Amino acid sequence: MPGKSGFDGGQIGTEYDLLLMAIPHYNEVQEEVARLVATHANNRPISILEIGCGTGLTTRALLQHVPNVHITAVDKYSTMLDQAKNALRGHKNVTFVEADACYFLARQDDISFDAVVTVFCLHNEDSPYRRNAFREIGRIVRQGGFVVSADKIAQDDPVQHQASFDAQMEALAVFRGTPHWELEEEWRAHYLEDNGRRFIESEQVFLLTKEAHCHEVKRHRRWGMEALYTGIRHGNDRH
Ligand SMILES: C[S@@+](CC[C@H](N)C(=O)[O-])C[C@H]1O[C@@H](n2cnc3c(N)ncnc32)[C@H](O)[C@@H]1O
């Protein structure tokens, strides 16, 4: 059954983009992701697998900043994906796919993409799922390819994490007294679920380094609960 705190039920799916009211740096994350991909591509044609495109906010930033791009944008919920299709209709260099990320990844050939981008998606799944996803990402991205993961990634220090988590909860007060007041409770419930599946920095580094076989693994930025990591797929060490 879809839960009210999930993207397939309740207002957080149908009114997802209003979350930008509670996360002022939301667009900055998208822009930073897209700029890093553009720098990596350096005007060469690039095929990107985007995991968890949602309503298309990451996809849009990639289209704006990365020339010669083709994006395969995957999301498992039509509530979200249909909004992306609608917002980006007319863009010929995007293919939308409704599928679970690991289901989709398992059906791709080795070395099928130049880059993989995932923003605010995989923290929604548990740790074994994330491990499988990054293992598959390492298989389907080409050697020298770029892997970008911007997500809700908790600081390893629990005290720092709690402060960021509390600030994230408090920011939801922005919905009080607006016609979207119910979003506060729905997002609170969603954030509490996220916290139960906590995705921590050391796990992200492990997933990029060991599962996706990346080097130059870097954290570029942190904005409270959100952090942006990249890695470059190693050469000749296919598994
Ligand atoms: C919070 S939205 C973020 C969307 C977009 N990247 C952005 O930053 O605005 C996360 C999306 O990931 C999707 N998602 C979560 N788990 C997924 C999975 N296992 N496979 C495919 N999509 C998934 C959800 O349906 C949701 O649309």
196 located within any domain = yes
Which of the four pLDDT bands, split at 50, 70 and 90, describes residue 6?
confident
Q: What mean pLDDT is predicted for residues 214-230? A: 97
Pocket of ligand 1 (CB under 6 A): 7, 52-54, 57-58, 74-77, 80, 100-101, 119-121, 124-125
* C-alpha of residue 236 to centroid of ligand 1, in Å: 31
If pLDDT is split at 50, 70 and 90, which confidence band does 238 have? Answer: very low
Q: Is residue 1 part of a domain?
A: no
Give the mean pLDDT of 211-220: 98
Contact by Cβ (8 Å): 42, 211: no
Query: Residue 235 carries which side chain, given as an amino acid letter?
Result: G
- CATH value at residue 200: 3.40.50.150
Angle (CA) 66 212 30, round 5°: 30
Ligand 1 centre from 149 Cα, in Å?
12
102 near 132, Cβ under 8 Å? yes
What is the number of the ligand 1 atom nearest to the C-alpha of 75? 22
Distance 77 CA to ligand 1 centre (A): 8
Residue 193 has pLDDT above 50, yes or no: yes
Q: Which two tokens stand for residue 78?
A: 């039509």
The answer to whether position 87 is within a domain reads: yes
- Whole-number Å distance between alpha carbons of 212 and 232: 9
Q: Is the pLDDT of residue 237 over 60?
A: no
**Which tokens in the block code for residue 42?**
């350096």
Residue 2 has a pLDDT of 42
CA–centroid distance, 29 to ligand 1, in Å, is 15
Question: Which ligand 1 atom is at minimum distance from the Cα of 133?
Answer: 19
52 vs 74: CA distance, rounded Å: 6
Structural domain contains residue 19: yes
pLDDT tens track for 65-90: 999 999 999 999 999 999 999 999 99
Question: Region 138-167: what's the mean pLDDT?
Answer: 96
Q: Is residue 77 part of a domain?
A: yes
Closest to 100 measured CA to CA, from 8, 196, 226: 8
Atom of ligand 1 nearest to the CA of 50: 6
Q: pLDDT tens digits for 173-183?
A: 999 999 999 99
Q: What's residue 204's pLDDT?
A: 98
d(CA 18, CA 187): 11
Is a pLDDT exceeding 70 seen at residue 4?
no
Determine the pLDDT at residue 236. 59
- The mean pLDDT of 148-159, rounded to a whole number, is 95
Query: Closest residue (by CA) to atom 14 of ligand 1?
Result: 52
- Which ligand 1 atom sits nearest the alpha carbon of residue 8? 25
Half-sphere exposure of 216 (CA within 13 A, CB side): 13
Between the CA of 108 and the centroid of ligand 1 the distance, in Å, is: 19
| Domain contains 205 | yes
- Rounded to the nearest angstrom, the distance between the alpha carbon of 106 and the centre of ligand 1 is 18
Secondary structure of residue 150 in the 3-state scheme: strand
Q: How many helices (H) and strands (E) does the chain have?
A: 9, 7
The Cβ of residue 89 has, within 10 Å, a number of other Cβ atoms equal to 8
Q: Residue 71 in contact with residue 95, Cβ under 8 Å?
A: yes
The domain tally of the chain equals 1
Q: Give me the domain span that covers residue 210.
A: 11-233
Give the span between the Cα atoms of 88 and 224, in whole angstroms: 29
